[in-house]
């Protein structure tokens, strides 16, 4: 062995320790900058709804999810369905379209579109379960313009 030289096994062990320490430092550094989007909590759906109001309950849901620019807001809206607050009710309850079949959400196109697994509406992502439930109850209650 040469003077001042380190035996091969010692050098290999030191190199391994340096690699392990380096990987740990890199991992800790990476984790500090790693971020993720936290899932927003589902709204509380535990409240019991006696009567769903079209004006107070349904219009805000439609405004937030459907009556958006490029979707259901103008006379040339998607599928010809304009869900602007002033005409949404007459549009939804047009008997020749079947968008809403009062009393029966399962035969209502609107309810099918917001609960289907494919081609769901709105296209930006599924509505929250509370909104879907409110729409379902409104239809079951006869889809009144109240």
DSSP state letters, 49-91: -SS--IIIIIHHHHHHHTS-TTSSSSTT-GGG----TTTHHHH
| pLDDT for 7 | 67
Residue spans of the domains in the chain: they are 54-140
Query: What is the rounded (10 degree) CA torsion for 110, 112, 118, 119?
Result: -10
Q: Quickly tell me which residue has 């959400």 as its tokens.
A: 105
| pLDDT for 38 | 47
| pLDDT for 59 | 97
Six-digit token string for 65? 């999810």
Mean pLDDT in each 10-residue stretch from start to end of the chain (146 residues)?
61 76 63 50 65 96 90 80 92 93 96 89 88 96 96
């Amino acid at each position: 062995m040469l003077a001042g030289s380190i035996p091969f096994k010692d050098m290999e062990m030191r190199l391994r320790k340096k690699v392990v320490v380096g990987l740990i430092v890199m991992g800790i550094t990476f984790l500090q900058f790693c971020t993720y989007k936290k899932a927003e909590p589902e709204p509380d759906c535990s409240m019991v709804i006696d009567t769903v109001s079209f004006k107070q309950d349904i219009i805000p849901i439609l405004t937030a999810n459907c009556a958006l620019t490029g979707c259901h807001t103008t006379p040339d809206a998607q599928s010809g369905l304009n869900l602007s607050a002033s005409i949404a009710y007459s549009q939804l309850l047009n008997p020749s379209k079947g968008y809403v079949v009062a009393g029966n959400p399962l035969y209502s196109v609107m309810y099918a579109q917001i609960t289907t697994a494919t081609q769901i509406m709105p296209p930006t992502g599924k509505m929250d379960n509370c909104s879907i439930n409110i729409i379902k109850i409104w239809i079951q209650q006869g889809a009144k313009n109240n």
